[in-house]
Amino acid sequence: MTQEYTVRSVATDEEEHRPPSRVRAWLGRWRREPGLWRRGIILALIAVGSALLMILHAHIPNKIGNLGSLTETFLPWLGLLIPVILVLALVRRSATALIALLLPAVVWLNLFGGLLTDKSGGGGDFTVATHNVNADNPDPKSTASDLADSGADVIALEELKAAAVPVYEAALAGTYKYHSVQGTVGLWSKYPLSATKPVDIRLGWVRAMRSTVATPEGPVAVYVAHLPSVRVKLHAGFTASQRDKSADALGEAIADEKLNRVILLGDLNGTMNDRSLNAVTSQMRSTQGAAGDGYGFSWPAAFPLARIDQIMVKGVEPTSSWTLPRTGSDHLPIAAKVDLARSEK
């Protein structure tokens, strides 16, 4: 009697650990399905092609419509192909496509998976924010108030319309005792500013500036920049040549900076993946990449697709980075906290 009971118990345990009958039947049909490996070849090729595109994006030439920069601007979005191919492969019952799908999945996770996690840490003694306020902003006063409420020690504004500058000055005066406007960019600070001047980014008018902020932890060079806009046109592709020239000039100015601690705030009209911003990105760190929570996309505000607004540092330790709530602009404001006490003076 005992032996019979034991055998039945084992059999019952095995049955409990088996997949449900419907799942087993479905898997059985898959194994018996004719053409399991022959179907879905096109899907497999698309999967491999997307992986190669992510791996070799730096080799896509810019000579034809700046196609390389355009691809790099939206490179993380290639990951959307992975669930699409997965569903189609399951519908087609293609083992070949499912195996091929592993390649783009691994590549995408290697390139962008780290941005899915929260890398922000505690600490930090200096908060900065930047915002392209949009020249056509219908409510600059509210935008300024929202930025002041962020608690930032320094705020950079881009795309300042001359007629709106007095509105921003009045709205921010109570929190920020020191400020300077150079052309269409401005810097507001709780601490004294000195050696403030425009930065020539080869445009013929002022869209960049530099100032020394006298923080409690010593002087910090703060740059504010608004690089030229880019457009995607059918006859010309990704029109970014003027932005690229301005990025080179900005990179030269930062390389010549005498202070060890440098913070760049602004709308660069490009992402960290875009090779054309290499003159800047090669010598500075993105606070979002180093200490951000998620991708931190900033444009367009209604449905952010890319982070073209940047906070970058050199000789400064970032501790956290985030986006701020939407204002009357077509960009989201972004902010970051850095630890000046642990940075080289």
CB atoms within 10 A of CB 68: 20
Give the number of domains in the chain: 2
Find residue 224's DSSP bridge partners: 209, 265
User: Same structural domain for residues 241 and 300?
Assistant: yes
Please tell me the distance from the alpha carbon of residue 36 to that of residue 48, in angstroms, as a whole number.
Answer: 19
User: Same structural domain for residues 91 and 192?
Assistant: no
User: Same structural domain for residues 178 and 303?
Assistant: yes
User: Same structural domain for residues 98 and 132?
Assistant: no
Structural domain range at position 199: 126-339
The pLDDT value recorded for residue 33 is 60
User: What CATH number is associated with residue 245?
Assistant: 3.60.10.10
The pLDDT value recorded for residue 343 is 78
User: Same structural domain for residues 197 and 220?
Assistant: yes
User: Same structural domain for residues 269 and 318?
Assistant: yes
Q: Find, among 173, 95, 179, 101, the residue nearest to 141 by Cα.
A: 173
pTM (two decimals): 0.84
The pLDDT value recorded for residue 68 is 82
How do 231-233 and 237-239 pair as beta strands? antiparallel
Q: pLDDT digit of tens for each residue in the chain (345 aa)? A: 445 444 444 445 445 555 566 656 655 655 556 566 678 899 999 999 999 999 999 888 877 777 888 888 889 999 999 999 999 999 888 889 999 999 999 999 999 988 888 888 888 999 999 999 999 999 999 999 999 999 999 999 999 999 999 999 999 999 999 999 999 999 999 999 999 999 999 999 999 999 999 999 999 999 999 999 887 654 444 567 899 999 999 999 999 999 999 999 999 999 999 999 999 999 999 999 999 988 999 999 999 999 999 999 999 999 999 999 999 999 999 999 999 988 777
Find residue 129's DSSP bridge partners: 155, 335
The pLDDT value recorded for residue 6 is 47
**Last residue in a domain, options 116, 134, 166:** 116
The pLDDT value recorded for residue 66 is 76
The pLDDT value recorded for residue 35 is 61
Domain annotation covers residue 245: yes
